[in-house]
Amino acid sequence: MAQCLRQRVGLLRILSGQSCSSPSTIIFPLQQYNSSSLPSKTLFSPGRSESTVASNQLDSLSSSDSDDDHHQVLDFPGGKVGYTSEMRFIPESSEKRVPCFRVLDDNGELIKGSDFQQVSKEVAVKMYSHMVTLQVMDSVLYEAQRQGRFSFYLTTIGEEAINIGSAAALSADDFILPQYREPGVLLWRGYTLQQFANQVFANKADDGKGRQMPIHYGSKKLNYITISSPIATQLPQAVGVAYSLKMEKKDACAVAYTGDGGTSEGDFHAALNFAAVMEAPVVFICRNNGWAISTNISEQFRSDGIVVKGRAYGIRSIRVDGNDALAVYTAVQAAREMAISEKRPVLVEALTYRVGHHSTSDDSTKYRTLDEIEYWKTERSPINRFRNWVERQGWWSEQEETELRSSIKKQLLQAIQVAEKTEKPAITELFSDVYDVPPSNLAEQEKQLKEIIQTYPQDYPTDVPV
């Protein structure tokens, strides 16, 4: 077996993009050579990337423990490859699944010998408070939607550790390209509860001027690109953002979030390949929560999740326990550091579970059991786990918990009242901000819309100024 090489970043071990193979994942060309027998020159140019060309991987492998005597290599475009006379296919999957990086056990106890980035009391308490704020915001806004006060909502319940753990590991200069189940990242960056409420109520104070569906947040000030409904479009866009950051020599990266369902889109694959080839400083964070609405992951892919897809594209990758805030924080911090300093993409697969329904348009009990949901809500709660750890450090108490929850609830109820009372944007706002001078067809559409509203007022909301 070829020796398994691992990259180390601080204490954290990350799956190297190409060269680490477990006994059952045979990477066919890499097993059949011995570095001492490599020809000194290659006939083919290795291309631009010093870190990812195949010839470098061969050079960097110190020895092969194969008994195979075919220690010969051939030059091909892309670099030298060993050859074998034995016909062997790469197996479709390894026997062992890629392990999941974890720091805290289910009880919030630190696992001995864990590679983890220590956090200060201040950061830990801020992380915990934001996880709770997100949870309370979700429950209050979800209820408000069920009362019919606005049209749609989607919770992040069960994924608070991914949201807050990753947000805390990033810098404000990093650009976030979210899917939609990452409002915690925006919360961490300073988006206020009032701003969240204004968006879902689509009022005049909303940053998006009420043009988007609820939960499609965005903030130019906070480098949080507005959410797009079509799944995975943010992924290739993130590569472009990352590439421009690299060209401008910024000490920042792009961070793109996707769900497991997002990886079934062509855009995911285009983005990974594009990022690898362009050596773009982008961190892809995949929240693998088991479901894409009612489609289980078993119907989406047959690979060992998402993490192994990184290697297929030549991207360094790690699998992390998405319900462990400290593990997410540690891994994302290391991924960010590598992305920026080494100018390369990194993929983080965070395993988790979507505890809520997909959205208010879904009833998840139609396709999964209540017991399963309850188990993840209670036994595997990322909030309880992190709370146990923070309490063990002596940084949190029952009294602080009660005060925090009641204060956030009050702030939210107040924010909802204000948002609900605030006027809606005028209908003309639908047509502004795209063109300096609106073209004639758009001006015509605006005129027609106003006429239709005036003719059929009963079919249009009365609170939208025409």
Ligand X SMILES: Cc1ncc(C[n+]2csc(CCOP(=O)(O)OP(=O)(O)O)c2C)c(N)n1
| Minimal distance, residue 152 CB to ligand X, in Å | 12
Tell me: does residue 260 bind Mg ion (CB under 5 A): yes
Encode burial over 94-131: b for 16+ CB neighbours within 10 A, e otherwise: eeeebebbbbbeeebeeeeebbbbebeeeebbebbbbb
Reference 215, options 133, 141, 130; nearest CA is 141
Smallest separation (angstroms) from ligand X to the CB of 197: 22
- Buried/exposed code over 25-61 (b: 16+ C-beta within 10 A; e: otherwise): bbebbbbbbbeeebeeebeeebeeeeebbbbbbbeeb
Output 108 or 261, the one with its CB closest to ligand X. Answer: 261
Q: Cβ closer to ligand X: 118 or 229?
A: 229
Smallest distance from the beta carbon of 159 to ligand X, in angstroms? Answer: 8
Active site residue 229: yes
Q: Pick the catalytic residue from 229, 298, 398, 440.
A: 229
Indicate if 400 belongs to the active site. no
114: tokens are 């864990």
Instruction: Enumerate residues 350-379 that contact ligand X by CB under 6 A.
Output: 354, 358
Out of 144, 197, 200, 231, the residue judged to bind ligand X by CB under 6 A = 231
In this chain, which of 34, 289, 360, 364 binds ligand X, going by CB under 6 A? 289
Identify residue 183 by its one-letter amino acid code. P
401 by Cβ neighbours in 10 Å (0-12 / 13-18 / 19+) ranks as middle
Residue 156 contacts Mg ion per CB under 5 A: no
Give me the helix-helix angle, 193-200 and 398-421, nearest 10°. Answer: 40
CA gap 204, 407 in Å, rounded = 26
Given the structure tokens 């961490």, which residue do they identify?
Answer: 188
d(CA 466, CA 462): 9
Query: Which region, judged by CB under 5 A, interacts with Mg ion, from 259-267, 308-316, 336-344, 435-443?
Result: 259-267
Catalytic site residue 21?
Answer: no
Q: What is the number of the residue whose Cβ is closest to ligand X?
A: 259
Contact between 293 and ligand X (CB under 6 A)?
yes
Q: Name the active-site residue from 55, 64, 359, 381.
A: 359
218 binds, among ligand X, Mg ion, none (CB under 5 to 8 A by kind): none
The site that binds Mg ion (CB under 5 A) totals a number of residues, namely 6
Q: What angle do CA 183, 169, 305 make, to 5 degrees?
A: 70
CA torsion, points 374, 369, 166, 299, in degrees to nearest 10?
Answer: 170
Span 246-275, contacts to ligand X by CB under 6 A? 259-262
Establish if 217 lies at the interface with ligand X (CB under 6 A): no
Is 341 one of the annotated active-site residues of the chain? no
Positions marked active-site: 143, 229, 358-359
Question: Site residues (CB under 6 A) for ligand X?
Answer: 181, 229-231, 259-262, 287, 289, 291-293, 354, 358
